[in-house]
């Protein structure tokens, strides 16, 4: 969430809250450092896999370059 703050006023008056990112679970994964904030504070880089783009990974072990028949 984000709110604007007017620092020219003598009292603290936050603005209207607004959602920054759609899924807060992305940012609060206790097992991973899943995001970073850009140096200018204007962007987030989020490390996540979207379900509609995920695909299985196939691992081949004991592979030899000769093709067996």
The C-alpha atoms of residue 26 and residue 28 are separated, in whole angstroms, by 6
Residue located via tokens 């990112």: 21
- Structure tokens that stand for 21 in this block: 């990112």
The pLDDT value given to residue 30: 60
Q: What is the pLDDT of residues 12-42, one digit of tens each?
A: 888 899 887 666 555 565 655 677 888 888 8
């Amino acid at each position: 969430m984000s709110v604007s703050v007017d620092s020219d006023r003598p009292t603290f008056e936050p603005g209207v809250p607004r959602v920054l990112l759609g899924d807060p679970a992305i940012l609060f994964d206790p097992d991973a450092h899943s995001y970073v904030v850009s140096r200018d504070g204007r962007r987030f880089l989020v490390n996540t896999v979207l379900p509609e783009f995920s695909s299985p990974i196939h691992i081949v072990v004991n592979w030899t370059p000769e093709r067996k028949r």
